[in-house]
Amino acid sequence: MSNNTIKKVALCGNPNCGKSSLFNHLTGLKQKITNIPGTTIDRKSAVIHIDGTQYQLIDTPGTYSVNPKSKDEEVALDLFKPNHPERPDLIIYVADAHNLKRNLFYFSQLSELNIPIILLLNMVDVSKAAGIDIDTARLEKELGIPVLETNARVGTGLGDIEKAISGTHFTTHYPFTNEDKSDIQLRYERISGLLKKIVHQKSKRQLITERIDPILTHPLWGYLIFLTLLFVIFQSVFWLAEYPMQGIEYAFDNIGQLLMDVLPENWFRSLLVNGIVAGLAGVVVFIPQIAILFFFMGVLEDTGYMARVSFIMDKILRGLGLSGKSIVPLISGVACAIPAIMATRNIENWKDRIITILVTPLMSCSARLPVYTLLISVAIPDVYLMGIFGLKGLVLLAMYVIGTVGSLVSALVFKFIIRQTRLNYFIMELPVYHPPRWKNIGLQVIQKSRSFVTEAGKVILIVSIGLWFLASYGPNPKTASVLEPTETAQLETSYAGQFGKVIEPVIKPLGFNWKIGIALLTSFAAREVFVGTMSTIYSVEDENNLVNIREKMTNERDPVTGKPVYSIAVVLSLMIFYAFAMQCISTLAVVFKETKSLKWPLIQLFYMTGLAYVASFVVYQLLS
């Protein structure tokens, strides 16, 4: 490999310094994301060409100091160790010109690593607007290294950066040398001394940020604006995602149909259509929601608003073992737990993050909606309370409340179970507001969607094929010759059907029969599969025909007692079960990917299913 000869250039800086924008401007879609083994940190890098020479540009995580504050940060900072194979040949340090003092702290530490360094003063426009005047030429002279002015948001100064990279002779110069490297105060004193010479505060002008913040963190307006924004975002997510999701389902249905028509009837066709195509559809169908939710979250994050939301929510969530930063994943969980769990990366504190991951899937996600809709229509009478509030709607609302309460109470329980291994603090910068950087947001949406498809997708596909096998084959050799799992009788004799019968004694106290048992197994792939399985069991031709399944389920009688099988007690018990049970392999796959351990998805699977069992048991026994 010629990799050893390519000069490695690391992009470093504090969070919110505009480093990622700059990286995106310099590299675009050429970026490669690799995971640092043993961590949840992704390292972005790209090979760029300047005057015919190749350079590998590495984006490092934004941090305030070389002293690691978490295990992940520790590994990320290993990059700078003297014999690390990826040790950069040049550091480009991006500093927010508006806040030079704190930004130069990490710079001063990095400049002592025997690695050549270039300083970029970013967002000079913001600092000028705030009345701060920086003498860049003087700074360059004082430090003895190249100092450039850029505006990464709009992409000015990029040519200068490329020139500086190719023009740097990769010789070392150390603008700061401390006798005692660990003395934070001494370091800051030196920086202050330097800044006195080069920074001139002309007039203290109030930034827009200082005018907006009192409104956005106001005890009334702050929460009201936040709730309104959420309402608008979720409405748009459901509304916007609906069409592409229907399109994806339609496309996969057609592909399946096409394969059914062309291929001869055998096990391979069944595997292809009911295992692989159905499994792929189950992965791809999530993409619109993931992409749209990440787009909106990206805008809120990028403008700086999200930090304010964490600020006003911290006190409320802290008592529950969460932090202000948990609010975004929790709320995203109402749409889909997958992007929600991916969004927990913003929580630096390990314990807060794990608890958030564990409880987020209890929030009522959109996949529960078809299950609730079917069950409510089967058993809840069409009556109105006080003439206006439909009982069906109220029950649905109650399911959302139950999910939220369940999630918050579970967080409280985990708070006492999980040990704090690292410092717990909430010391967070409130960045200056700026307009969204569409390119950053767009790239992030693409990268997150791609990582979901490639990583979680694998697990989902494998489990889908496993479920196909269980639903298609049975212990009785006669069934193995019947190859269409859509046949009711066939499903009954399959392994899945056997499973339903085997677990019947276990789920009997919850009011469930073996048919529901099959649906519990198959909907383990995704909750909404419940509706499809019920249609298959009750031989409904078109699974979208809710009325038909509803009629068959409503009319189903117990052969012994003659009473309706789907009584209010059974239906409520089943709804509670779906509210709490971890019936989603995609979520488990994402948790596995995000925590890099089997432990957490397993804990999640058992605690949620256990909770579901107990809650359903109580509901059924009380009502029947």
> Where along the sequence are the contacts to another protein (CB under 8 A)?
64-65, 67, 69, 98-99, 101-102, 105, 130, 132, 184-185, 188-189, 192, 209-210, 213-214, 217-219, 222-223, 307, 311-312, 314-316, 318, 324, 423, 425-432
Q: Which residues, 6+ apart, have CB-to-CB distance to 124 below 8 Å?
A: 97, 134, 149, 150, 151
In whole angstroms, how close is the CB of 314 to another protein at the nearest point?
A: 5
DSSP class of 113? S
Pick the closer one to another protein by CB: 312 or 409.
Answer: 312
CA 593 – CA 601 distance, rounded (Å): 10
For residue 283, CA distances in Å to 50, 278, 334, 438 come to 39, 9, 19, 26
Q: Which residues, 6+ apart, have CB-to-CB distance to 399 below 8 Å?
A: 364, 368, 372, 575, 579
Strand 199-201 versus strand 132-134 pairing type: antiparallel
In whole angstroms, how close is the CB of 302 to another protein at the nearest point?
A: 17
Pick the closer one to another protein by CB: 40 or 65.
Answer: 65
Pick the closer one to another protein by CB: 308 or 368.
Answer: 308
In whole angstroms, how close is the CB of 64 to another protein at the nearest point?
A: 5
For helices 546-555 and 529-537, give the axis angle rounded to 10 degrees: 60
Pick the closer one to another protein by CB: 18 or 275.
Answer: 18
Pick the closer one to another protein by CB: 83 or 182.
Answer: 182
In whole angstroms, how close is the CB of 433 to another protein at the nearest point?
A: 11
Whether the Cβ atoms of residue 192 and residue 102 lie closer than 8 Å to each other: no
In whole angstroms, how close is the CB of 495 to another protein at the nearest point?
A: 54
CA 435 – CA 301 distance, rounded (Å): 11
Token pair recorded at residue 298:
């990206």
Pick the closer one to another protein by CB: 102 or 163.
Answer: 102
Longest Cα separation, the chain: 93
In whole angstroms, how close is the CB of 145 to another protein at the nearest point?
A: 22
Residue 569: name the closest of 624, 507, 509, 514 by CA. Answer: 624
CA angle 63, 69, 73 (to 5 degrees): 60
Pick the closer one to another protein by CB: 68 or 244.
Answer: 68
In whole angstroms, how close is the CB of 311 to another protein at the nearest point?
A: 5
DSSP 3-state assignment of 559?
coil
Pick the closer one to another protein by CB: 105 or 530.
Answer: 105
Q: Which segments of 336-392 are extended strands (E)?
A: 384-385, 389-390
CA 217 – CA 209 distance, rounded (Å): 12
Q: Which segments of 161-275 are extended strands (E)?
A: 199-201
In whole angstroms, how close is the CB of 197 to another protein at the nearest point?
A: 15
Pick the closer one to another protein by CB: 135 or 210.
Answer: 210
Pick the closer one to another protein by CB: 219 or 435.
Answer: 219
3-state SS track over 447-495: HHHHHHHHHHHHHHHHHHHHHHHHHHCCCCHHHHHCCCCCCHHHHHHCH
Q: Which residues, 6+ apart, have CB-to-CB distance to 111 below 8 Å?
A: 93, 117, 145, 174, 175, 176
In whole angstroms, how close is the CB of 199 to another protein at the nearest point?
A: 10
In whole angstroms, how close is the CB of 312 to another protein at the nearest point?
A: 5
Pick the closer one to another protein by CB: 221 or 438.
Answer: 221
CA 587 – CA 360 distance, rounded (Å): 10
In whole angstroms, how close is the CB of 101 to another protein at the nearest point?
A: 6
Q: Where are the alpha helices (DSSP H) in 85-144?
A: 100-110, 124-129, 136-143
CA 494 – CA 491 distance, rounded (Å): 5
DSSP 3-state assignment of 496?
helix
In whole angstroms, how close is the CB of 427 to another protein at the nearest point?
A: 5
Pick the closer one to another protein by CB: 126 or 531.
Answer: 126
For helices 599-623 and 391-417, give the axis angle rounded to 10 degrees: 130
Pick the closer one to another protein by CB: 105 or 592.
Answer: 105
In whole angstroms, how close is the CB of 203 to another protein at the nearest point?
A: 13
